[in-house]
Amino acid sequence: MSQHSIAYNKAYQFAIRIVKAYKYLVKQHKEFVLSKQLLRSGTSIGANLAEANSAISKADFSAKVSISYKECQETKYWLSLLKDTGYLEEKAFLSIYKDAEEIAKILYSILKSTNRTKN
């Protein structure tokens, strides 16, 4: 299985966790603003990787993976903010943040190898 396939599968599973976290935050905490940002960025990671699957060039592929990486970094920001404002408990935060970190590392690795072969 390629690194890109692994990233896509992990991003998809992560998106499912993000949707569940969103539902929890809205239902249990009546939090609608930060959680909506988390939902948008957290599900965008995999959506952009799906677009990368049908890229028409290496540059297009690299651009979509780059967007995924940036969305992952943004998701980590929203997760931290939700934890530090008392909406996410430490244990839940650490679990999902760890997944985001793993995805970010994979995406960064893909970007590095793609940019090496692009030149």
Q: Does 115 score more than 90 pLDDT? A: no
Query: What does the radius of gyration of the chain's CA atoms come to, in whole angstroms?
Result: 15
pLDDT digits (tens, 9 = 90+) for 8-64: 999 999 999 999 999 999 999 999 999 999 999 999 999 999 999 999 999 999 999
List the domains of the chain with CATH numbers: 3-118 (1.20.1440.60)
Neighbours of 31 (CB within 10 A): 19
* Separation CA 87–CA 52 (nearest Å): 33
* pTM value surpassing 0.75: yes
* Separation CA 16–CA 43 (nearest Å): 8
